[in-house]
Amino acid sequence: MAADLADDLLILLVDVARHFRTYGDQVAQSLGVTRAQLSILARLDGNPDLSQKELAAIAEVSPMTIGRLIDCLEGHGLVERCGDAADRRIWRLHLTPKAAPLLREIKRIRAKLHSVTTKGIEPAVLKAMTLGLQQMKENVVSRRLTEASS
């Protein structure tokens, strides 16, 4: 039975995700932030001027969770909330100059992790894995939404 589980896709996905989380927690701790905060900084770096609501949707977490994460990042001087010119109820999120060194470190770590985890895997296989994982995510999200609405 153990041999069967070693090749089980779902078990492997859970194991890989757990190892990524553990590694991410260690890296984040060494940088003085949490893994969730690193994720938010990386998302803001790639999507500047998002609102908190837009960021929550992209990160797939509740607006309240994003609010708490932004509060902490703002307290560290890494993110600032700026008013939206068209709607004063909306806060736009901007990275501060203080975030730049941390963002460089995030990019370096992501490149290292990508290199380590994909060693020996052909680019075509990586592309197929990416497409497969995207479809799996879409399938699970769709099923969850369908079941929640019925």
Which residue type occupies 75?
Answer: G
Tens of pLDDT, residues 67-122:
999 999 999 999 999 998 899 889 899 999 999 999 998 898 888 888 988 999 99
- pLDDT > 70 fraction of the chain, expressed in percent and rounded: 97
Q: Quick one: pLDDT at residue 33?
A: 87
* Domains defined for the chain, CATH in brackets: 2-98 (1.10.10.10)
The alpha carbon of 55 is separated from its chain's Cα centroid by a whole number of angstroms, namely: 11
What's this model's pTM, rounded to 2 decimal places?
0.78
- Check pLDDT > 90 for residue 65: yes
**Of the candidates 44, 71, 68, 69, which has an alpha carbon nearest to the alpha carbon of residue 55?**
44
SS3 of residue 62 by DSSP: coil
Name the 3-class secondary structure at 89. Answer: coil
pLDDT above 60 (res 144): yes
Calpha distance 123→106 (Å, rounded): 23
pLDDT of residue 145: 86
Q: Rounded distance, CA 30 to CA 57, Å? A: 28
Report the pLDDT value the prediction gives residue 18, as an integer from 0 to 100: 94
pLDDT single digits (tens) 92-106: 999 999 999 999 988
Q: 53: Cβ–Cβ under 8 A, 6 or more apart, which residues?
A: 63, 66, 90
* 110 Cβ contact partners less than 8 Å away, ≥ 6 residues apart: 42
